[in-house]
Amino acid sequence: MENFLLLGICFGLGLFFRRLPQFPESTPKVLNGFILFISLPSLVLYHVHELKVDVTSLLPSSMPWVVFGIAVVFFLGLYKLKFLKFHTAVCLVLTAGLGNTSFVGFPLLETYLGKESLGYGILADQLGTFMVLSFPGIILASIAMDGKWDLTTLVKRVLGFAPIYALFIAILTRQFPYPDAFKLVLLRLGDTLTPLALVSVGFMLDMRTIAGHGKVLALGLGFKLILAPIIVYWIYSPLKEDTLLFQTIVLESAMAPMVTSTVITIEKNISPHLASLMLGIGIPISFGTTYVLNFLLKGNYI
């Protein structure tokens, strides 16, 4: 419950700060800069360094790659058919194609399936969602930002993504234990990610823009909260015998859009108002849709 309370308070603060002259229009840019250069790298350094990897981890960590791949085909296919503009399609890939598998995902998993599911959830988040964002996600965002495919520029954009360096350092130092004090500092800095991101999105959230994004918003949330879990259920159905693993994978696929990918989408000016709506409206709706999905899974209705 404390996570949900934090979510509501931070969104509310973001909306409130928009009305105060002490917070200029550049406020989200400053907050996002801190997130991308301090908060997220700190989390990566800690969690990737501590992560235990084995063959079983490939199953839950593969799901975010599958969902992202389907989102690329689906939304960029609609762009090719001229149903969507390019920036709109990329925005939907980065928000509807990547799930909130940690901040919202972990407490919901614990509520629905118990603490035993969190191990699978962490694997889906760290080896799945974060890795997808770090490589194909950033590449796609960079192409949308520059408006063209240029390898030199693309490499510079990817190497300008600070968490990439944190990822490499975490992997290279896995055999060496971090001092306890250093781990504590990393966790404390990492803890700033969600509050700052939610304040930033709340600041950006303008409900008046729903009128201009209504159909596209429904399309994106429909894919993320309904279509993606259905497809994942079908693809991973051979794992039904391992009930906990299977239910964790399906529920993680049904989480709301990812906070960090939304921040990056906004930061790179890729349909920022649509991105903020996808997150701001998607998170509260996901509480209801995941509850229904969990009920159906446990009741063997699907």
Contacts of 233 (CB under 8 A, 6+ apart): 250, 302
Q: How confident is the model at residue 188 (pLDDT cuts 50, 70, 90)?
A: very high
Contacts 24+ apart (CB under 8 A), 33-37: 33/267, 34/192, 34/196, 35/192, 35/193, 35/196, 35/197, 35/200, 35/260, 35/263, 36/161, 36/162, 36/163, 36/263, 36/264, 36/267, 37/162
Which residue has better confidence, 225 or 40?
A: 225
Q: How many CA atoms lie within 13 A of 107 on its CB side?
A: 13
User: Cα angle vertex 165, ends 189, 65, to 5°?
Assistant: 95
Nearest one of 218, 27, 193, 170 to 100, comparing CA atoms: 193
CA end-to-end distance (rounded Å), the chain: 28
Angstrom distance (rounded) from CA 167 to CA 113: 30
Angstrom distance (rounded) from CA 133 to CA 140: 9
Angstrom distance (rounded) from CA 297 to CA 66: 20
Question: Which residue ranges form the domains of the chain, and what is each CATH number?
Answer: 1-299 (1.20.1530.20)
**Per-residue confidence (pLDDT) for residue 9, from 0 to 100:** 86
Which residue has better confidence, 246 or 105?
A: 246
Kindly report, residue by residue over 29-78, the tens digit of the pLDDT.
888 889 888 988 888 788 778 767 667 668 999 999 999 999 999 999 99
Angstrom distance (rounded) from CA 206 to CA 272: 11
- For the chain, the average pLDDT equals 86
